[in-house]
Structure 1
Amino acid sequence: MPRRTLADWNTIVEQQQQSGLSIVAFCKQQKLNTKSFYRSRRLIRDQDLPNKFLSVALTSVSEHKIVLELDNAKLYISLTCEPVWVAQLLKTYQA
């Protein structure tokens, strides 16, 4: 069987989402490797990231915190906070 392209996997991921089955059940039904499914889904999401950045406005900075406004909410972040944590928080917020 020829190797699947990312476009092929994108179609497969969409089919799984529409199926209503869990990923494990869908992969079993379609005779797909679950690890390959998760890896390909991550690659598809990573590829789409530049188009999905959340617009965040920096409203104020003080000695001890940064204030970010997200929609109608304010997020107070310590200046000592790890940037990776902030990125993960924003990624989770967007989902």
Structure 2
Amino acid sequence: MSSQEKHQYWSSLIEQQKQSGISITQFCAEQNISYQTFYTWAKKLRTQPEPQQLQPLIVTDTSVVSENVVTLTLANGLRAQLPIHLSASQIQHWVAALQ
């Protein structure tokens, strides 16, 4: 099982326990899973950063081209002209800010 599959599996189990209305001890016994492992994953998933969401960027060829900027058009309609020399992390920062 891949790391992502494990995260999804344990996230699902933890959510099932919350919705079940029974204690964690009883839930673990019924599911035949280790109480300690359940708590380890619960803690691990609580401290995980939010997953990144991909947003589509629309790339179009325009007649007005500037050698010094890149124009990004986000799916939500916002458009930004960014200096061409920005690093990938700086571009990610701007895209996140525009969403």
Please give the TM-score of this superposition, normalised by the length of structure 2: 0.45
Q: Which has the higher helix share?
A: 1
